[in-house]
Amino acid sequence: MDTSRLRPMLATEHAEIVADLRELTPEQWDRTSLCDEWTVHDVTAHLGAGMTTGQLAWIASILRAGLRPAVHNRRQIARFARATPEETLARFAALGSEGGEPVRLPTGDTAPWLGELVVHGQDIRHPLGIGREPAPEAVAAVARFYASRDFAVNSRSQVKGLHLRATDAEFTANDPGLPVVEGPQLALVMLMAGRPAYLDRVEGSGVPELRSRLAG
């Protein structure tokens, strides 16, 4: 995918998440997100850590964690987080701006990190009832990437043997003769990312199988 096209999307989704986070109450910062029992504060720190870890630093961190992603993620969250959510948000909001830290992604491929912002943005918004959704072009780029390979999440493996069809976009994945899962493109992205909270937004003959995989 063309990095020159994806970089502006990365900046846009970052700004949209920051805008939503600025409106949160202290109680909302402590709310559990859709992501592995992390709070909204944890997810924000995770996103900030991912955007400030270059390739060599990422490799060193995962090696020090014994190739255990959960350990690596906990340490990176602790590295980026500040004493209060407001301080963490200020650091996150300043990324890439004058006076803030530069954005350093672990790989030269922007698509997976756009996926991090799209998915984790919804990990925050969904349980808080925030209606904002990522830009359709960003969701489309992530959908294509997730259907093509496993990276930070086992997205391609999650839907192997199932035909995905978006009802609000041109996105499809896998053979049309397979059991179908259809629904909004964002719901398909979130399901490829392993978020069962979006099962109620899709339908089709492949949904029971996908539900079983997500439960497992």
Low-confidence residues of the chain: pLDDT under 50: none
CB proximity list for 148: less than 8 A, separation 6 or greater: 156
Residues 81 and 162 in one domain: no
pLDDT, position 66: 97
Q: Rounded to an integer, what distance in angstroms lies between the CA atom of residue 51 and that of residue 181?
A: 32
Q: Rounded to an integer, what distance in angstroms lies between the CA atom of residue 65 and that of residue 60?
A: 9
pLDDT, position 109: 87
Kindly report the CATH number assigned to the domain that includes residue 192: 3.30.1050
Distances, alpha carbon 147 to alpha carbons 57, 136, 142, in Å: 28, 16, 8
Q: Residues of 52-72 as b/e, b for ≥16 C-beta within 10 angstroms?
A: bbeeeebeebbeebeeeeeeb
Residues 75 and 22 in one domain: yes
- Rounded to the nearest 10 degrees, how much is the dihedral formed by the CA atoms of 163, 166, 170, 171? -50
Give the number of domains in the chain: 2
- pLDDT tens sequence across 181-214: 999 999 999 999 999 999 999 999 999 999 999 9
Residues 121 and 146 in one domain: no
State the residue range of the domain holding 145: 136-215
pLDDT, position 1: 63
Residues 21 and 75 in one domain: yes
pTM of the model: 0.95
Residues 86 and 171 in one domain: no
CB proximity list for 28: less than 8 A, separation 6 or greater: 40, 128
